[in-house]
Structures are given as C-alpha cells and as structure tokens.
Structure 1
Amino acid sequence: MPSPKGTESDAVCIVQLTDSHLYADPDADLLGLDTSDSLGAVVDLVLEEVSRVDLVLATGDIAQDGSERAYRRFIAAVEPLPAPCYWIPGNHDDATLMARIGADTGFSKDWIDAGNWRIVMLDSSIPGAVAGHLSVSQLELLELALDGAGERFVMVCLHHHPVPIGCDWMDPLGLLNVDDLLPRLRADRRVKVVLWGHIHQELDQQLDGLRLLATPSTCVQFARHSSDFATDTRPPGYRSLTLLPDGGIETRVSRLQSGLFLPDPGAVGY
C-alpha cells in the first residue's frame, strides 16, 4: 500500500484528449472541421510541449459515427504518444464496440493504479441519448474502486458534466443522476478530482475541496455561457495533469495556434 509521501519522481503525468469525433471516412468533417487533422495536430502539440507522459486518458466521443474504423483510426493517431492510452465512451460512441476493441488493445480498464493514485474510468453513456447516466453497475464499480483504493488518492473520469456549466442548452445534457455520484465523492477525502469532456470547453472549479475539470475538444469548440447551440473560435486543445504524491494537482490547458481548425460559422447543431 503506497504512502501519501513521495518525491517529485513519484508524480503521475497525464494527458487528457477528449471529444475527437472521428469518422470511418478520413475525409469526413464535423461542422466543416476536419476532426482527423485536428486530432493529429493536437497529438503533435503534446509531443512538442510535454516532456513526460505516463498515461493518456480519452474521455469520450472518440467517434462521431460509432464505427470500428473510427476507433481504429483513433488508436493509430495516439500511437506516437509515449504512454498507454485508456478510454471511456461518450454519447456519440458505441460503448459495446469500444469495450470489445478496448479489451483487445488494452484501452479499456475499470481503473488504473499509478503512483499514489487510483484513476477510475466510468461509463456515463446512455445508448441513443445525449445526456448521461451512471448505471447501477457503474456505481457498483465506483464502490469497488474506492473500497480497494487503500491510501491512494483518487481521480474519477467520466464523459458527462456532473455540475452546471452556465450553458442553457448544454446543462440539461449532463449527468442526470448527479446525486448518485457527487455526495459519494465529496464524502471521501481521498477523492481529489473529477475529470470529464462533453462540453467542448475549459472548466476548472472547486467543490468542497474537490477539483472539477473539463477540457477543450480536439476538434470543434462550444461557446461558453451560450443560451443556444453556438460554436467558438478558440482552437482545439488538450489538458495536461500532474498528480502529485501528496494528493496535489497541477494542471493546464494548451491549445493550437489561434485561427486553426475553425468550424463553419453558420453551424446550428451536430
């Protein structure tokens, strides 16, 4: 069982990629933006900026069309990153197909132990729906992960946002059974951070000592504080996190150069 003490070398360095929305067709685009090219550019940016990567976490909407070719293309796209990658499904994904491919490739795990941390990977997707929900089996998985974490600190990952983000159209499309998740996490002092995707924008909040983090998409960005669906001109990006051995968290969002990979300004939904 790890001690909560440690050296800087015991830190866990993570890159989060989210909402890549790949298609089977490499020439397909989302709202006029080439999602394959933008993911490749973000991976190149990670390789340029991040000197150490221990884990890559892909937090849903890997594919836009839920196709096996799209998932295989994602696996190929992240192969240059010098660390294992683990994924969870989002509302556009085929969770059953992802689990099958993930079992063969090692991309699917219920949790990952690294350094003084346990990283729990929850599936919040509902087949055929945009909003999210944690099933009884996923809540039981969370309990198993917490019960066996020992003295480790805990980060919980899911696709859907568990708190309001100030977007009228997006807020109803988050996690529907928040009351089954947040009170449990807030009651456990080992749980330090919740990490998600889905909202295609950056968020960093605190809730009773619990860090709440969301990350830009590797493709289209959504406008913050919008009443109706609206895209943003901010470029695609990723999040890097350093999970420190004492339970601290260092994190930042990095984006591609402004003006790159802009969606169709007339887009009204996807």
Structure 2
Amino acid sequence: MSLGSDFVCVVQLTDSHLFADAEGDLLGLQTQASLDAVVDMVLEQISRMDLVLATGDITQDGSEAAYRRFIASSLRLPAPCYWIPGNHDDAELMARLGKPLGLTRDWVDIGNWRIVLLDSSIVGAVPGHLSQATLSSLDDALATAGDRHVLVCLHHQPVNIGSDWMEPIGLLNASDLLTRLEPDPRVKAVLWGHIHQHFDQPLGHLRLLATPSTCVQFAPSSNDFATDTQAPGYRWLRLYDDGRIETAVSRLPAGQFLPDPEADGY
C-alpha cells in the first residue's frame, strides 16, 4: 500500500476487554461505553488515519458477541484495522472471525514501513510466549522486508516496566524477540498493550512503546496490583518515510470512566 504523503498515520487501540453483554463491566467500569468514547475521541482528533492496530485483550470473556461488537466499533474508523490476541482472548476464534475480514495478518506493508503482528498469547495462561512458529514468521517478515522500516507489535511487554506484579506476566521468552530485533537497524520500535499504562523508553536504537487501555488503567511503578485514576485513551503514531516516529497518547477528560477504587485484581 503506497500513500501520497511522507508519513503513515497509525492509531493504536488496546485492552478494550469487552464482554458478551454490552453493559458488562471490568472492575466497575463499562468497557463498551469507554471504547465507544475513545473511538469518538479518535474521530474528533485524527483527521487522517491510514491504519488501526488493536493489540490484544479485545475481549475479557473470549465471546463471539464481544468480538463482533469490537469489529462494529472499529468499522466506525475510516482505516483498515488489524488485531492480535492477548491473554484474555480466544486466538482461534479471533483468527476464524478475523481472517475473512482481513483483521488477522502476519504483517502489513504500508508506505515505507512493514508492521509485524505477533501472537504472544498462551492458551489458558496470563503471561506471554512467542511460539517457534511465530518466531519463524517474524524471521520471514524481517528477511523479506527489504529496505522498509519495521514496527513490531505484540500484546505482552518484552521488558521490565518497573511494576513488580506485572514482571511475571510479561513475555516469558523476551530474549528470543529482542535478540532478533536489537541488531537490525530497520526495526525502529516495538509496540504493545497489556500493561494498561503509557510507556515510552529507548533500548539501543529501538523505541519501546505501550499504551493506555481503552478502559481500566493500571498505576505505574506499583509493587502490587493497583488501578489508576487516569482516563482511558489511545496512541497515535506518525511513521515517516525516513524512519522517524512521532507519537503521543491522548486520553478522555479526567474523571471519566473510573474503576472501583476497592478493586484488588481482575
């Protein structure tokens, strides 16, 4: 896919945690309503978008009804959407629903970029792991990328984010990923969800990025599970032809969609 300007505009939505019941709530927060509000904000703020990335935990309950409502929400945005599963998702169901609609892909080429989409989910488990098949797909993506710049996306965090309780539920074989990416100057950034908070740090030439959930937020730098009072949001990225990335997080107004302050897990 080629475009007429010097950048690609990407919108990332992550961790929507939808339920079969449209009024289902996570820790007291109605997740469909918060997703709808975030999508409204995207439409107000982003005049041109080329691609939408949904980086896992699309649903909380793995139900077909919840996936179909997410698809309906994504269709409100004037750009193709691609998704990857998280630990709360049913990866097989996502593939069955997503492949006919083009939602499920190994990678997408757009502008001067290749965006690689990795499934880090483990059936029935919270942490992440990249299977040998997924790593082989990544190897193929890198081997055939040519001179394109590369953005790699997954659900689970591949580095320590400074929250003790999240450390054991990140990507268990992160070294298998990073040893492939760190030597390759074409790979400009790694983008993920799962941690329900903003994260933006360098690792050598790589930029490591994570994004607030469209529903409940987790408190940064917390030893134990803790929610945050920051509002739901999304990330926009401008991927420039020369490999530069401009990106920021945008949130709903403060005080909207707050979780139950007494919640001690999910």
TM-score, normalization by structure 2: 0.98
2:240 to 240, 244, 260: 244
Shift of residue 180 of structure 1? 0.4
**1:12 and 1:225 mapped to 2: Cα distance?**
32
- For the pair 1:219 / 2:215, whether they are aligned, the reply is yes
- The residue number in structure 1 matching 2:204 is 208
What is the letter of the counterpart of residue 33 of structure 2?
D
Matched residues, percent identical? Answer: 69
Residues 1-270 of structure 1 mapped to structure 2, 5 A cutoff: 9-270=5-266
The answer (yes or no) to whether the contact 1:8–1:244 under 8 Å persists in 2 is no
Shift of residue 172 of structure 1? 1.2
- Runs of 4+ in structure 1 deviating by more than 4 angstroms, as ranges, are none
**1:269 and 1:79 mapped to 2: Cα distance?**
32
What is the letter of the counterpart of residue 24 of structure 2?
A
Shift of residue 11 of structure 1? 0.9
SS in 1 for 2:97: helix
SS in 1 for 2:254: coil
- Which runs of 5 or more structure 2 residues have no equivalent in the other structure? none
The answer (yes or no) to whether the contact 1:126–1:132 under 8 Å persists in 2 is yes
SS in 2 for 1:232: coil
The answer (yes or no) to whether the contact 1:58–1:87 under 8 Å persists in 2 is yes
What is the letter of the counterpart of residue 49 of structure 1?
Q
SS in 1 for 2:35: helix
SS in 2 for 1:265: coil
**2:202 and 2:153 mapped to 1: Cα distance?**
16
The answer (yes or no) to whether the contact 1:200–1:217 under 8 Å persists in 2 is yes
TM-score, normalization by structure 1: 0.97
**1:198 and 1:41 mapped to 2: Cα distance?**
20
What is the letter of the counterpart of residue 193 of structure 2?
G
Shift of residue 10 of structure 1? 3.1
The answer (yes or no) to whether the contact 1:166–1:224 under 8 Å persists in 2 is yes
Measured against aligned partners, the alpha-carbon deviations of 1:143-184 in whole angstroms (never above 9, x if no partner) come to 000011000000000000000000010111100001101011
**1:242 and 1:8 mapped to 2: Cα distance?**
14
**1:249 and 1:159 mapped to 2: Cα distance?**
20
Shift of residue 8 of structure 1? 8.0
Query: Over aligned residues, Cα RMSD in angstroms?
Result: 1.1
- Which runs of 5 or more structure 1 residues have no equivalent in the other structure? none
**2:24 and 2:5 mapped to 1: Cα distance?**
42
What is the letter of the counterpart of residue 86 of structure 2?
G
Shift of residue 193 of structure 1? 0.4
